[in-house]
A = this chain, B = another copy of it.
Amino acid sequence: MVLHRFFRFALLFFISSSLIYPQANEHFISNYSKISETIVRKSLTENIGYAWLKELCEIGPRLSGSEESLEAINWAKEKMIRRSFDKVWLQPVMVPKWVRGKIESAQISESNKYLGRKLNITALGGSDGTSNDGITSQIIEVRSFEELKEKRELVKGKIVFFNRPFDQGLVNTFEGYGKAVDQRTRGAIEAAKYGAIASIVRSVTSKNDNVPHTGVMLYDTLYQRIPGCSIGINDADFLSIAIKDEPALEVTIKLDCANLPEVQSYNVIGEITGSEKPNEIIVVGGHFDSWDKGCGAHDDGAPSIQTMEVLDLLRRLDIKPRRTIRCVLFINEENGSRGGIEYGKYAKNPEETHIAAIESDRGAFTPRGFSVTADSSVIKKMQDWLPILNLTHIDWIKPGGSGVDVSYIKNAKALIGFVPDDQRYMDVHHSDNDTFETVNPREMQLGTAAITIMALLLSDGL
């Protein structure tokens, strides 16, 4: 960086007088503001990451262990090599392999009024399939595990329908998601406790349509492994009315999804080596796997590509960070976090020190802030950078969680989550709505600029 000489000069004074510090800080802010302006302009005008996202989406969704995920991994590795990152490698990771199969259907199979009516469902990730004949039974609707427990006498041999809606009254859509998603993750376990034979879960989404949203579900070795699926919310509302109308109504569910043996996969890693402290690492990353719906554009295609472009932007602008900036595209966040865990092990190697890590896994919407896990003195220092980050519409830096994958990196000074606007994320998340077309190029590229600037400040200023 152009500032090195100044820093050494300032340091001499700093030792003799702490009064010099604010001045040094002022120069830092002023110099990095100028550099950041070039980063913002380049990101917004060249749209390189957005073009990469189009290529990635054309490969298809990237479910861990799938052919498409391996093709995408290869695509990213080749891209990093062609863009002349200093080092590029694949880190081997064993991942679970779940396949959706070709059949997933639900239909009303016993009813006076609704016979034959189809329901828009999709298998939850990790679910076992049904037999070829499917599962046929009456429906027990509940809104919570407490209500399920109260109705436990009715559950045996039935299909449990978890129908607690996403709470639109909560401003933060991640909070809305968090308060509904237990039905999806643990619904099949809780229903199986009382002898249910399948579970249907109202899609966890903020959008009023009929597209089912998938996502991981769990089993517990103590209970029967029953199939689990989600249902579009319009059909969830219909089903709720229909079974009040005809309690003896029956639904037949057919799924041929399956859990297969683990397979080999990889984290994709590329870096720009630090000019002064090559063994001190700033990680930027997102998860490269997705669900097998839409193309995983917002979750987490565009955000992981933002972190790839961080390195490319620095290259295109010939900015040489003092510390190493490393992009890690983590595999298998959605159903195992194996990539995050594996990188966490690697990060313990004594030849490197991980200073900080930024995760981008909240969609590619307009930047709002950064959520930071760090000592208060570190957060205070980062907050001093806000006049620079404001250039990208970043309005705040607050204490808070970072992200699933970087949380496995221990002993870093700061683990950071990039926080874009959240209002549209749960409209598309884990569903066929999550397509390339829903990503706005300016919103994505402004996020890329925000992460790039933060990475550079961490490299040169922390």
Contact = CB atoms under 8 A, between A and B. Distances in A.
Interface of A: 40-41, 44-45, 168-171, 173, 206, 208, 366, 368, 391-393, 395-396, 421, 423-424, 427, 440-443, 446
Enumerate the 9 nearest inter-chain pairs by beta-carbon distance, A residue then B residue, closest first.
Answer: A41-B169, A395-B395, A423-B442, A45-B169, A423-B443, A366-B423, A366-B421, A45-B168, A44-B168
B392 A171 contact: yes
B423 A169 contact: no
Contact of A423 (B40, B170, B427, B440): B440
Contacts of A168: 44-45, 442
Contact of A391 (B171, B391, B423, B446): B171
A446 B171 contact: yes
Contact of A440 (B395, B427, B443): B427
B424 A440 contact: yes
Of A168, A392, A421, A423, the most chain B CB neighbours within 10 A belong to A423
A333 to B, nearest CB: 25
Contacts of A41: 169
Contacts of A446: 171, 423
Nearest to A38: B169
Contacts of A441: 208
Nearest to A426: B442
A206 B442 contact: yes
Contacts of A443: 423-424
Nearest to A42: B169
Contacts of A392: 171
A442 B176 CA distance: 13
Given A45-B168, A171-B391, 12 more contacts: A40-B169, A41-B169, A44-B169, A44-B171, A45-B169, A168-B442, A171-B393, A173-B442, A366-B423, A368-B395, A395-B395, A423-B446
8 contacts: A41-B169, A44-B168, A44-B169, A368-B395, A423-B440, A423-B443, A424-B440, A424-B443
Nearest to A206: B442
Contacts of A440: 423-424, 427
A391 B175 CA distance: 13
Contacts of A366: 366, 421, 423
A268 B393 CA distance: 35
A176 to B, nearest CB: 10
A177 to B, nearest CB: 13
Nearest to A50: B208
A349 to B, nearest CB: 39
A366 B395 CA distance: 14
A114 to B, nearest CB: 28
A313 to B, nearest CB: 13
A436 to B, nearest CB: 14
A104 to B, nearest CB: 28
Nearest to A396: B395
Contacts of A395: 368, 395-396
Contacts of A421: 366, 393, 421
